[in-house]
Amino acid sequence: MTPATLERARATRVRVAALLADTAEVVGVGVTFLDDGFAVKVNLRELPVSCAIPDEIDGVPVIVEVVGRIQAG
């Protein structure tokens, strides 16, 4: 598979954010750099009970990480 470009990852981030808009456990959706390209990163407060997050959308990897609650410093 061809590594995802920054532009493709940014476009996919918008799709992932819309897909997960009603998922309360999501605390952020962004773009991250991988060794061979870019990916969408989904940060979660905790794993959702009923939401399946795909490993890839449109050839762009989707990385999921449970980061806990986000608080202002």
Closest CA to 6 of 30, 37, 43: 37
31 touches 5 (CB < 8 A): no
Q: How far apart are CA 21 and CA 32, in angstroms?
A: 19
**Residue 49, pLDDT score:** 80
- The better pLDDT of the pair 48, 73 is held by 48
Domains along the chain with CATH numbers: 6-66 (3.30.300)
- Tens digit of pLDDT for each residue in 6-58? 999 999 999 999 999 999 999 999 999 998 999 999 999 998 887 788 999 99
**Residue 55, pLDDT score:** 93
Strands 37-44 and 56-57: unpaired
**Residue 72, pLDDT score:** 74
Upper half-sphere CA count for residue 30 (Cβ side, 13 Å) = 8
pTM: 0.88
